Amino acid sequence: MAFDDTAPSSSSLPEPTAYGSLTDHEDDARWAYGTGFTDPLAGVPADLPDGVDRADLMTYCLMLGDDALIMSHRLQQWVTRAPELEDELALANIGLDLLGQARLLLTRAGVAEGAGRDEDDLAYRREAHEFRNVRLAERADGDFAQLMARLLVFTAWRLAVFDRLSGSRDPMLAAIAAKGVKELTYHRDYAARWVVRLGGGTALSHSRMAAAMSDISLLSGELFRAHEVETRLGSVAVDPGAVRGEFDAVMGEVLAAAGLPARDEMSEILIFGRDGNHTEALTEILTEMQELARAVPGGKW
């Protein structure tokens, strides 16, 4: 075998590390925001649009950011519990995508507030009543069918909202939404494939999937209720009621393919997570999620 004496010796090459292999690239499509690649919002104007109330913009960013943060936490709880290794990786990646969206939106919320709080402050140093996520995001799932039903409803709704939000009058929100549309398209399709697979599977998987879809209707009504902040923000935000038709069409197509009955009429919701009214499930999530940050105030890691 020929030897190339012009090649550098192994001792002159940098020592490879496992962590280095994860962070030595700038491929935004593969990794969650914050793992060492170029800022996906570099060059996007960060100034607030003219005439926009700071408090309203902050609250709206918290709404969308908290949805993603809490749903991401719920998804990571399923790693090691999914049916196959491939699904554990898929759920982990979906969770990371949502965590990336949460980071961008909470950062934007801090900028809008103008009080010097960053994404960590908003994620780790707020109480449950200060969170603005929909209650659907915080619910625990008793089995995989419930998780897939909830993920499908959440992502079909969020994708429709983000598709419209990509035209927001706030350039930063528009850029965050445009990036999120690509991610959410995969999230929705992943959940839809599992709903069809379980709905068209065995008698047991069909019954569990049907029960899960019926159960999730109890929490779906809140998704389409316009909050007063969304109304005041106008073209900066998206009226969630405007995406109901698109959502219903997607759900109808998936349920028909799965051999599942059409969705029940959504229940009238009287308690809203957007107003800071949550279940005990959110308190449990925050106790776990915020434990280290509260134990070591100001810690950096």
pLDDT per position as a tens digit, 74-112:
999 999 888 899 999 999 999 999 999 999 999 999 999
With CA atoms as reference, report the closest residue to 231 among 68, 103, 59, 101.
59
pLDDT of residue 45: 83
pLDDT of residue 162: 98
**Which range is most confident: 29-33, 74-78, 158-162?**
158-162
Rounded to whole angstroms, how far apart are CA atoms 156 and 162?
10
Residue 132: pLDDT band (50, 70, 90) is: very high
pLDDT of residue 219: 86
Please compute the mean of the pLDDT values over residues 216-228 and round it to a whole number: 91
Q: Where are the domains of the chain?
A: 51-293
Stated pTM of the model: 0.86
Residue 260 CB partners (closer than 8 Å, separation 6+): 195, 199, 206, 209, 210, 213
Determine how many CB atoms are found less than 10 A away from the CB of residue 94: 23
Rounded to whole angstroms, how far apart are CA atoms 113 and 130?
14
pLDDT of residue 98: 97
Determine how many CB atoms are found less than 10 A away from the CB of residue 253: 12
Residue 73: pLDDT band (50, 70, 90) is: very high
The pLDDT of residue 157 is above 80: yes
Phi then psi for residue 290, to 5 deg, are: -100, 0
Tokens of 188: 């929705």
**Range of lowest pLDDT (2-16, 138-152, 224-238):** 2-16
Rounded to whole angstroms, how far apart are CA atoms 175 and 166?
6
pLDDT per position as a tens digit, 245-258:
999 999 999 999 99
With CA atoms as reference, report the closest residue to 246 among 258, 237, 254.
254
**67: exposed, middle or buried (Cβ count in 10 Å: 0-12, 13-18, 19+):** buried
**Range of lowest pLDDT (66-80, 204-218, 265-279):** 265-279
What dotted CATH number matches 51-293? 1.20.1260.10
pLDDT of residue 16: 47
Within 117-170, residue ranges assigned H as helices are 119-124, 135-138, 144-165
The pLDDT of residue 160 is above 50: yes
